[in-house]
Amino acid sequence: MTNLLASVSLPIPERALASDDPADILTFAVKAFAQGGVAIATLVDIRGGAARALGSHVVVAADGRFCGYVSGGCVEAAVAAEALLAMDEGRDRTVKFGAGSPFIDIVLPCGGGITILIHVLREITGIVDVLDALKQRRAIGLRYGSTTQSLDTVKPVTRAGWEGSDFVTVYRPATRVVLSGQTVEAQTTARMAQTAGYDVMMRGHGDVVRLSNDIDPYTAVILLHHDLDQEETLLGVALRSSAFYIGALGSTRTHRRRIERLQNMGFSETDSSRIKAPIGVFGPTRDASSLALSVLADIAATRLMVYA
């Protein structure tokens, strides 16, 4: 692949940014488009196992810089090389890697195969619209028309995939974590959530109105209080919201008391069943770091189930 690029005087691919966040990748596309040519490579078919989901992207600038992932890192440079060739020819192309691919020297460690659709961007409006929607915390879809070789925004689909001869990618806002608790557990969880790239908001007793405005379908609410009285009002707000995850600190015995209080407040059994308690995916934990890891793992797993 490198020799082929050299023969047509194209730049050698070089990773510019190590991120698989769609907002980062599409922002890179907008900036690269302003500076010259750019192509967006999309994972559109998986044969066997794969490290990334359908709809994953690699964006390639005309100078060889690229951003994003369509595998675990084993084919991205080759994808970028193909994108440079597509830009040089001025036309879209589809390339296979791994099983079923003509590139016998490029093998995916998982043993599977992937198909990458490379689109040479001729205008950037659709990508800008996606970024605007994500900033407003709205889900949105982007349709690649194989006949027109163009991108258009559409209503979000359940998951990325083919619709006839067109491929639709779905984009959803980043996970927001609304966290309440004046404890070392809350502080540690907030730090780890920020490191994980989540949008973290700390809220207290007087933040009921702000809490209501903060929560959307892509929000996880974490209540790390050691007193049911301290969490009661905020928990009520969370249960009336569209949060995809609600978790509360406490033992099984504490949670039984919590449910009784919620029933007295008028909440149903269905309402209280939304609460992850005891919180986290493993326990009981005996230190703040273990609790934070347990909670964030639970949030990540729940989001994957809800928005697979």
Question: For 21-51, what is each residue's pLDDT tens digit?
Answer: 999 999 999 999 999 999 999 999 998 877 8
DSSP letter at 291 equals: H
CA 116 to chain centre: 19
For 274, how many CA atoms within 13 A lie in the half-sphere containing its CB?
21
* C-alpha distance from residue 171 to each of 59, 119, 284, 300 (Å): 16, 18, 35, 17
Mean pLDDT, consecutive 10-residue segments, the chain of 308 residues?
60 94 97 95 90 95 96 88 95 83 54 89 96 97 94 95 96 96 92 96 82 93 92 93 95 94 94 94 88 96 91
Q: What is the pTM of this model?
A: 0.89
Please tell me the distance from the alpha carbon of residue 45 to that of residue 97, in angstroms, as a whole number.
10
Question: For 194-230, what is each residue's pLDDT tens digit?
Answer: 999 999 999 887 778 888 889 999 999 999 998 899 8
